[in-house]
């Protein structure tokens, strides 16, 4: 019962909200462009409960709450030009106008891209809400101590220095130092320092150690050997106005997207730390841990998961939204859709990649729990 309350319920709530927003992005633009929507499902498998709206869409919750989907009228996963012509013969003139496949290329692209971008919008709104009502930290990051023979000392960083930037990103808060260092995919980190009213940049090669995150989970951490304290021991947390809050919310969302992209590139280069990849088990664990810290913390993790869902879905992997956008790019260049056989081949590759990723992340999750 404790596991149910502490981990499973918060995870289901978070996933339901994030998936609903994603699918509603698809749904909203589908309806806007006149595409018929037969199903709006949260979860997969057997339907638990649902209802039909006036337009005939079945809104339902299903037994496996690990995703969702919007099904369009006459939906086909793959189609060639010839198959599209056969499909049109099955419907009346009125019904043909509801088909997704006959819509202009730009409309289909917007409908597909709307899901991931709805996730990004959700994250921006959550961050803005937090910054307006709970405030944003603007405490300057002053170095209180530099460890002997540490990467920071070897680079020339000294006690009393104030960190102003990391890899070209402005450091506005003491909280951002660790995030910027650990999200960097490069071996050398450029740290901008304010010393005696002069700004100096130092190149530091961090050490990677096995440690724990703030929640006590095992994690590989990058350290440079410094201890940071608030400047003059003063915490500076400010509530922002709507415009400023939205600006910083956009910056935070972009930072996560950029860090995720750099991580993907580092994996292809062979330098990425794949042990940090996690699946539903790890997400559920972290969600439960964060939920215990309060409503604001829970909203924060929801924003980060929403960004991750949107980002992953934009990857050019068949079966994901990005895969469909890739097909539309081919269609734009070639002047026609790819053949059915070609698309089916891509879908098999996409299925293999997704199953491999699922297996790998599940293995990491179980190892993190000490089962391997």
Residue numbers annotated as active site: 23
Among the listed residues 100, 93, 56, the one whose alpha carbon sits nearest the alpha carbon of residue 74: 100
Among the listed residues 171, 164, 158, the one whose alpha carbon sits nearest the alpha carbon of residue 199: 164
Instruction: Tell the residue number behind the tokens 């021991």, with chain if given.
Output: 233
69 Cβ contact list (under 8 Å, min separation 6): 23, 39, 41, 44
Q: What burial letters (b/e) apply to 132-166, b meaning 16+ CB within 10 Å?
A: bebebbebbbbbeebeeebbbbebebeeebbbbbb
Q: What burial letters (b/e) apply to 20-45, b meaning 16+ CB within 10 Å?
A: bbbbbbbbebbeeeebbbbbbbbbee
CB-count exposure of residue 123 (10 Å: 0-12, 13-18, 19+)? buried
């Amino acid at each position: 019962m404790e596991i149910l309350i502490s981990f499973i319920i918060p995870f289901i709530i978070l996933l339901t909200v994030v998936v609903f927003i994603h699918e509603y992005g698809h749904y909203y633009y589908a309806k806007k462009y006149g595409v018929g929507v037969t199903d709006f499902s949260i979860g997969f498998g057997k339907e638990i409960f649902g209802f039909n709206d006036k337009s005939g869409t079945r809104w339902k919750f299903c037994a496996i709450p690990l995703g969702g989907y919007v099904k369009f009228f006459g939906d086909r996963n793959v189609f060639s030009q010839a198959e599209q012509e056969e499909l049109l013969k099955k419907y009346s003139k009125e019904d043909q106008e509801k088909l997704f496949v006959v819509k202009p290329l730009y409309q289909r692209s917007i409908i597909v891209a709307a899901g991931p971008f709805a996730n990004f919008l959700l994250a921006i709104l959550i961050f803005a809400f937090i910054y307006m009502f709970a405030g944003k930290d603007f405490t300057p990051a002053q170095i209180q101590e530099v460890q002997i023979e540490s990467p920071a000392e070897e680079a020339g960083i000294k006690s009393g220095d104030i960190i102003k930037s990391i890899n070209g990103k402005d450091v506005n808060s003491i909280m951002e130092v660790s995030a910027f260092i650990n999200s960097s995919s490069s071996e050398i980190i450029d740290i901008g320092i304010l010393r005696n009213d002069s700004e100096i940049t130092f190149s530091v090669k961090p050490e990677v150690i096995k440690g724990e995150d703030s929640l006590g989970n095992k994690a590989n951490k990058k350290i440079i050997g410094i201890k940071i304290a608030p400047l003059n021991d003063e915490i500076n947390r400010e509530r922002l106005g709507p415009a400023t809050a939205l600006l910083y919310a956009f910056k935070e969302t972009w930072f996560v997207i950029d860090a995720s992209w750099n991580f993907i590139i580092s994996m292809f280069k062979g330098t990425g730390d794949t042990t940090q990849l996690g699946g539903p088990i790890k997400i559920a664990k972290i969600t439960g841990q964060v939920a215990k810290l309060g409503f604001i913390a829970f909203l924060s993790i929801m924003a980060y998961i929403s960004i991750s869902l949107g980002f992953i879905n934009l990857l050019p992997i068949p079966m994901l939204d990005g895969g469909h956008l890739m097909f539309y790019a081919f269609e734009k260049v070639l002047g026609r859709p790819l053949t059915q056989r070609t698309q089916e081949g891509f879908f098999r590759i996409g299925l293999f990649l997704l199953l491999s990723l699922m297996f790998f992340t599940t293995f990491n999750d179980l190892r993190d729990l000490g089962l391997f």
